[in-house]
Amino acid sequence: MKIRAENILDYPTIAKVNTLAFRGKKEAKLVEFIRSSNAYISELSLVAEIEDHVVGYIMFSYVDLVTAQEQLPVLSLAPMAVHPQFQHQGIGKALLKTGLELADNRGEALVVVLGYPKLYHPFGFQAAINYQIECPFNVPEDFFMVKPLSGYEDKYQGKVIYPPEVHNV
């Protein structure tokens, strides 16, 4: 398996993988929205490829963390998807590991994610509330998690603001 940054030729297959994994088109539309916005980070939008076929995808993009003093850019991890025929073979974990390493090497401060604690805890994510970061979604607080990266400082406390398009997913 190879992990690399996405390119324009991958877009249709990535949309298919997201649609199959999530059983609907909302996440594929979210990816299109993010690509067209200034939150997009091409080098942190990664595909997993097996024999030249894209079977997995992970996207990190910028959202704002609003603190008492300022607005700070942090990374939002969404979506992550593996083609149903290739799930539970370690591809999701490999995408996460590579993505987090690349983000750390860029000096990013923090990753926020809404997802399964069981999947993210082994990678160092903790409930956001432990870092005084407020969840903007109406979900159990364990499901909104953060992972500090190399650029993290204590000032990263406050509320994460997502674009309205994300709330509609």
Ligand X SMILES: CC(C)(COP(=O)(O)OP(=O)(O)OC[C@H]1O[C@@H](n2cnc3c(N)ncnc32)[C@H](O)[C@@H]1OP(=O)(O)O)[C@@H](O)C(=O)NCCC(=O)NCCS
**Interface ranges with ligand X (CB under 6 A):** 21-22, 80-82, 87-93, 115-116, 118-119
Nearer to ligand X (CB atom), residue 63 or residue 72? 63
d(CA 35, CA 149): 23
**Residue 133 β-bridge partners:** 158
Nearer to ligand X (CB atom), residue 11 or residue 22? 22
Question: Which single residue is written with the structure tokens 């990664």?
Answer: 46
Minimum distance, C-beta of residue 94 to ligand X, in the bound complex (Å) = 7
Minimum distance, C-beta of residue 144 to ligand X, in the bound complex (Å) = 11
Nearer to ligand X (CB atom), residue 6 or residue 158? 6
Q: Structure tokens of 69?
A: 């003093």
Minimum distance, C-beta of residue 1 to ligand X, in the bound complex (Å) = 10
Minimum distance, C-beta of residue 30 to ligand X, in the bound complex (Å) = 12
Rounded to the nearest angstrom, the gap between the alpha carbon of residue 150 and the centroid of all alpha carbons in its chain is 17
**With contact defined as beta carbons under 8 Å apart, do 150 and 108 qualify?**
yes
Residue nearest to ligand X (CB): 92
Per DSSP, the three-state class of 58 is strand
